[in-house]
Structures are given as structure tokens and as C-alpha cells.
Amino acid sequence: MTTASTSVHVPPMKLSGLEPVLIGDGSLFVNIGERTNVTGSKAFARLILNGEFEKALAVARQQVENGAQVIDINMDEAMLDSKAAMVRFLHLIASEPEIARVPIMIDSSKWEVIEAGLKCIQGKGIVNSISLKEGEESFRHQAKLLRRYGAAAVVMAFDEKGQADTYERKIEICERAYRLLVDEIGFPPEDIIFDPNIFAIATGIEEHDNYAVDFINATRWIKQNMPGAKVSGGVSNVSFSFRGNDPVREAIHTVFLYHAIKAGMDMGIVNAGMVGVYDDLEPDLRERVEDVVLNRRPDAGERLVEVAESAKGAAKDDSAKLAWRAKPVDERLSHALVHGINDFIVEDTEEVYQRIKAGGGRPLHVIEGPLMAGMNIVGDLFGQGKMFLPQVVKSARVMKQAVAHLLPYIEEEKRLLIDAGGEAKPKGKIVIATVKGDVHDIGKNIVTVVLQCNNFEVVNMGVMVPCQDILARAKVEGADIIGLSGLITPSLEEMQHVAAEMQRDDHFRIKKIPLLIGGATTSRVHTAVKISPHYEGPVVYVPDASRSVSVCSDLLSDDKAAAYIEELKNDYEKVRVQHANKKATPLVTLTQARANKTPIDWASYAAPQPRFTGRRVFKNYDLAELAQCIDWAPFFQTWDLAGSYPGILTDDIVGESARRVLSDGQRMLKRLIEGRWVTANGVIGLFPANTVNDDDIEIYTDEARSEVLMTWRGLRMQSERPVVDGVMRPNRCLADFVAPKESGVADHVGLFAVTAGLGVDKKEKQFLDDNDDYSAIMLKALADRLAEAFAERMHQRVRTELWGYAADETLSNPDLIAEKYRGIRPAPGYPACPDHTVKGEMFRVLQCEDIAMGLTESLAMTPAASVSGFYIAHPQAAYFNVGKIGDDQLRDWSERNGLDIAQAKRSLAPLL
């Protein structure tokens, strides 16, 4: 820091709750929340005195939500055991991550209370305060203890003669304290916060008129002459003479802070709700307040009093945001649904119910009437592209909470009435499930919410549901439609099985109950060619959640169904014909493909040796570290928002929705990390390896390379390759990038499995129990992002430290996402490694049960938010698409794996 009198570099002040806070040159003003103070807040004092400490936490939480970067806690009350109260409240705060994330200011005039508080807080806090009022010996003793506790200190401008009230006294005491602290005690100058005393102005006493000016000038002097020192103060004191007139007090705070911050004031104890924007103040009021604060004229106080009452009457009207609350209650319900506001939903729902009940109506009429009216608007806006998926899911949360409030009334009515006649009929009932062996359900859950928003009754059976259970439940429920979801390629075959079983069952075949197909690996072509022929009823591919409503509506419409189904049949027949007539991808023989493998000069290759071989487990990995590696682009795809990141944030059509859902996601991510909602575990293995028989990679137990730990059977591109600049492009296989055994090169490969899904189910249930689908879906989307970030981070650590073949790598997160590094991490089920079966051996070698990861019978990983794969280090290693393979490779691969040809066909069906 450079000052007027000296040139000394002082590091920034470092504070922390659960998160670090740095305050130094260029930092913005730090707002210290003042409401958790029994001497400054009657409401807080009442809760503490009544022993309602848990309720008092809400005051602290509100301070943080309103922007306080530090919260001041004071328990100095004559009728209170201040020490016990401080300890109890700080312990409660420690269990509330949303509050504990900010640093704590322990505020007391009693040293025993301060010391007890310091023993409770997490991180590094501030003590408010110490001073010279009891002399230098006491001051030194307390300062040394604070230094041992590692706390920053507020130093009051107060000495043996009393509080400093003039500019001269303020700088005299502060300079004396600074020299004692820095020169004698060795207290870090960046941890000193001076409070030069803010006193009330415009009291009618002439001696008080210059108090604000003296504080501002003292602040400027301290910043120029005491390197590293900060300046703070209790801002609300300055306006005390206008208590009861909040608009004038707010104007005084605003003007005072405007000038004090310009002079160098770093922080202040202030109610954020009582500070406005300097330029937004009414000009006449601002001029009169400025006259008082800067003591510009002798009649300044009288002139401010003249306008004080009118300013109070013309207080700015913040009610515009709540103007909708003045509307009739039916319109209020509609507004809440369309805008996703759940703050008043219970009271508004109750008000409508009581009105309908008084007119002889029933609780279901509330759902049929104003609630469905609001949801119809949501459906219309969504259909018109004027509202996007995240907003719809928020609307659904409001709807669910309203219905949850009505449920006791509905249940009571059912108990009293044998015949519940007149009950609202849903548009149709849909049974939806993720098929056997698959654990991914984010998309299915979104479809569920969207359909429920549009008055369809949906029975969501969850994940890994066997075919017989789906069909049995559909019969019991009297389902009008069945929906199947899946992410991994083996799920496609399971969907074919479900369709075939529906064909065998008269209940479904005769009624021709529609079957919906959706999920990341599904497609219109696959549905038409592979699934639809198994069942004579309608089989419909649904590409995303936004299409589900129109598809279901058309299928169940008396007017449109026949025409829609006929159109669908014709379309799928056309797709099948086109597929049958499609020119087959020209293939070369497996022998030819192997002869055209990736050319690598192994004779001159020096294989990098890992810094260790074997397994290494990483449990409870730091989520905050993983959050730095998140690729946000796929996050928007989860919410059906199309566009590349970050460009999507400024898109003319979906930009606003994208910004809002990203803000919600990042806010939840913060809470997820602070609250440790999920656990991230990982395991990696680095092992000696060589390629054998062209396409297989043998992985060995040790450097002797005599005992095979597992064999990774590769698949090779068989399509005819183009000739570029006279050279034919290679028919690649991942085995090409690992040194052949006969080359004598001692090569290695890595294996990894990571998850960020441990704990997701428990937290998701809490959200669903609160009828909060939006948060439940958001949680799973974030867990997926963290799992991918974990995979990215571990690969980075493998390259730079654990294997260490790129120790000098320094890439930004965008560069990591763009894969601008040496080596690859292919994952089973992806284009370069389409074989899922290798996961079984991989999980055995890595002993994934140690990190609570497993595989379903269809080889889907559990938990769902998991990633696994291999590490290959060769600089020429690249991703590619194996694509279609020939019968010769199918037979060869089945023999190498010891599978019969039928099993091999099932495993590699998408490649055939």
C-alpha cells in the first residue's frame, strides 16, 4: 500500500467464515450486519431474552441474504448471561452453513464474552472491540491474546480521558494505538480496524455539528498515515436524532457513507435496508442532508427538520413489486403460478378455499378453478416459447405446494363422502419409468413435472424398473399411456423388450395403449426401426420435455388421435423404408483395418513412467475445488435451453431464462458445498500395459508384465477411410495408442471411477417431500456437473502430478474443457469405446465398492452422477468414432471376450 507519508506494502486483511474474505486496496465497502445485536434490535433482543435462539437465527440469515459480508453479534444485556448466550448462539450458527459462510464480528464490552466467542467461531473473525480506556497494560494484554487467537481487532478511539469527539483527538488516539500494536506488539497492521467514533449530528447542540466532518477527515488521515489499517463505524449513530423517521435516517446514512467511503472508510455496521442510492435521493432532501453531514451552514439542522415530515410521507414506495398483492385473490394465485412465487401461496390458497367453501363448493374446485387457470396460462406461454423449462418447473413447485395445502381437506371430504362425484378429471393418466438397468432420471422427472403442469396425472415409477413391474402398474392404475426413459445403450434393447411384452399382452395390444420413448440414446430412427415393429399400438419418440404435452394431448384427443396416429404410422414407415434403402457404410475387412492402424514410431518413443503404480483412493474430495472445474454448457441442455455457453446468456430468446437458471444453479451449488449435501469419492489406478493381438490392451499387476490384471478388448473403425494429401486416414483403435508388447516399450495406462452422487437421493427426497421438484431436478443436474468436473480434475492431476507426464501444464478451465492437453480419457459407452462390458473388469480392478460405486445388470453406474474410464498418455492419442463394424469383427470380438455371438450382438447392437 502506498500512503502520503510512506511506501509500505501491506497484504490485504484475510477473514473467513466457511469462505474466505479479502479486504484490501480496491475492495468494495464491507457491510457488517447490525441486527444480531441485543442493544440495537428490539426484535432480536426479545427472541434471545425469551430463549428462542433458533428463531433468532432467522435474523442472522436475513442479514446475510440482504448482503451483509460480516455479521456483528452482541449479547451485552443486563438481564442476560452474555457469555452463555454468545456461546450458544455461535454454536447454532456453526450448524447453519448459509450463515456460517460469512465471518463473525464478536461485539462485547466484556473481555470474558469476547474470549468465549473466539473459542467458538470457525475461520477468522473480528473482535469489537479493544481500546486504551483502561490504559496501555490492559490494551497490550488484550491485543497479544487476539494475536494468538488469530483475530482481527476493532480499536475504538477511546483512551484514559474518554471517547475522541474531535478530529485532533481521533487521530491522536488512533496513532498511539497503531504504534503500540505494530511497532511494539507486532500485530499485523492489516488486521487493525479503527473506529474513530460516529456520533449523532443535527441534535440542536452546536458542538455536535462537526461530528460527521471530523469522522470523515480522521478516516482520510488514518488511510494516508497508517499503512494497512482499516476504518469502520456504527453508521446508524449518525442519524440518531431523527429516530422514528426512516426516510430521513436513510438519506443521512446514504450521504454520510458516500463521503466517508470516498475518504477511505472500509466497512461499517449498518442495516443494508437503511441505505439508499446517493443519486436517487430527492434533490432538495439530498442538499439539506448534505448541509447537515458536511456542516455547510449554521441553520442546516433547522432546514432539514422543515422537510423531515414531508420526506417521511413521501417515502419511496417499494410496494410496486408487491402491487399484485392488491388484486383479487384468484388473480393473485394466477400471478404466483405464472411467476413461480411461493411466498404467499398457502394463505392465498386457503383464502380461495374458504370463499369457495362458503358458497357450497369443494376443495377440488380450487384446483379446477384458479389453480388450473394459472397453470393453463403457464402451459400456453410454454407452448408459445414465451416461457422456458426452468420457469415451468418453478410454477409446478408453486402448484404442488398449493395442492399439498388442500390435500387434508380433500382427504376429509373423501372420508365423509362415499361418492365423491364431480371430481376433476385429469386429461389422462401416464405411467412413466426408467427401464431396468438404467439409473438416469433427470429428463424423465422434468417430463413428469411438465405433464403434471398440464393436468395429466403422472405415476413416476423411478429408475431400474423391470418390464413386468411397469406393465403390472399400468394395469392397476388404468394408465392411458406408458412412457419409457433410458440413457445408456443397453436400455434401447430393454425398450424393445417392453414393446414386445406389450404386444403379447391382450390388455395393451387390444386397447392399443400408446408407448412413449425418450432419453439421450433414443432417436426417431431407432424408435421407428427397432422398437415400433415389436408393438402394433402407437410407439412415439419424444425428443424433449416441451414436446411431451402436445404428443400426449394428441394421443388422447377424441378429435385428433386417429389422424395423429395415422400420420405417425406413415412417418415411421417412411423412416423404415429410407433406412432399409440407405446405402450401407462401405466397410473394409478387419484384416485390412488392422493393416491401416494409426502409424506411431514406437522405436523412438520414450514412454513416461508414472510416479506410482497401483490404486489410489480419494474420499470426500473438496467440492469447492471441483466447482472450479465445472463445464456449464451441458447444464443448459438439461433444462432444454439450446445454445452454446456463455453465448446462451445473451441469447435474444432464451437468454433471460438461461441467466436465471444459471443464477439459481450457482446459488444452490454454493449451498450444496457449504451444507455438504453430497460426497465426492474417486479412485484411480495406474498400471503397466501393452497392446497385444492388434486391438487388445493387456494391463499388468506389476512391472514384470507377466501377470495380466485385466484385458481391455478394443474395437476398430472398419469404415472405408478417405485419402487426404495422398495418405489414407487410419482405421483407429484405442489400442493403437499403447505400445505393442513386442516393441519392448514399457508403457502404462490408467483407470478411473469418480462419483459426486453420494447423498443425492436423501437430499432429493427432502425437496420432493416439500413439493419442490425444481430444486430436486436442479440438485441432480449439479451432481452431474460435479461428477464431470471431478473426472476433469483427476485427469488434470494425473497429467501434472500422479503420472506427471505433463508436469508443466498450465491451462485455464476453458482450455481444460476444450481438451487442449496431452492424452485422452475415453469412457465406456462413448464413440471411441462403445463397449459397456469392459466396466465390469474395470470396477473389479479399481475395487469401486470401496468408494460406494457399483454397476447395474445393464452396466449403468451407481450413483447416477458418476464417470469412469481410462487414461492414455501418448501425445498422438485422440478421440474418434468407431462407427459401424462388420460381421468379421463381431465374431472376432465375441471370441476374444469368450461370448457367444448372440451376447456379442446384444452388447454391440448400435454398431451393427
Which residues are designated catalytic? 438, 440, 491
Cell numbers linked to 153: 481487532
Q: Pairing between strand 723-724 and 727-728?
A: antiparallel
Instruction: Calculate the alpha carbon distances from 544 to 250, 347, 421, 575, 779 in Å.
Output: 51, 35, 36, 20, 20
DSSP classification of residue 488: S
- Which residues are CB-neighbours of 66 under 8 A, at least 6 positions away? 33, 272, 273
Give the 3-state DSSP-derived string for 535-580, with helices as H, strands as E and coil as C.
Answer: CCCCEEECCCHHHHHHHHHHHHCCCCHHHHHHHHHHHHHHHHHHHH
Take residue 761 and report the three cell numbers written for it.
437421493
Q: Residue 788: enclosing H or E segment and its boundaries?
A: helix 773-797
Residue 712 to residue 705: CA distance in whole angstroms: 15
Q: How far is CA 850 from CA 620, 789, 790, in A?
A: 12, 21, 17
CA dist list (Å): 331 to 123, 395, 432: 48, 15, 33
CA 662 from chain center: how many Å? Answer: 8
Specify whether the CB–CB gap between 248 and 255 falls below 8 A. no
Handedness of CA 128, 43, 261, 165 (dihedral sign): negative
Longest alpha-carbon distance in the chain:
102
Half-sphere exposure of 91 (CA within 13 A, CB side): 8
Q: Which of 560, 304, 233, 616 is nearest to 427 (CA)?
A: 560
With H, G, I as helix, E, B as strand and everything else as coil, classify residue 756: strand
Grid coordinates belonging to 808 = 508443466
Closest CA to 399 of 455, 462, 328, 324: 455
Distances (CA, A) of 475 to 424, 458, 515, 539, 629: 22, 14, 14, 18, 47
| Contact by Cβ (8 Å): 72, 33 | yes
The answer to whether 830 and 461 have CB atoms below 8 angstroms apart is no
Let me know if 728 is exposed, middle or buried by CB neighbors in 10 A (0-12, 13-18, 19+).
Answer: exposed
780 backbone dihedrals φ, ψ, rounded to 5°: -70, -35
User: To 10 degrees, what angle do helices 82-94 and 111-118 make?
Assistant: 20
CA neighbor of 96 nearest in space, from 55, 135, 42: 55
Provide the b/e sequence for 129-142 (b: ≥16 CB within 10 Å): bbbbbeeeeebbeb
Query: What are the cell numbers at 573?
Result: 414407415
Q: Let me know how long the chain is.
A: 912
The conformation of residue 13, written as its DSSP 8-state character, comes to: E
For residues 143 and 189, give the distance between their C-alpha atoms in angstroms, rounded to a whole number.
12
Q: Is the peptide bond before 740 cis (omega within 30 degrees of 0)?
A: no
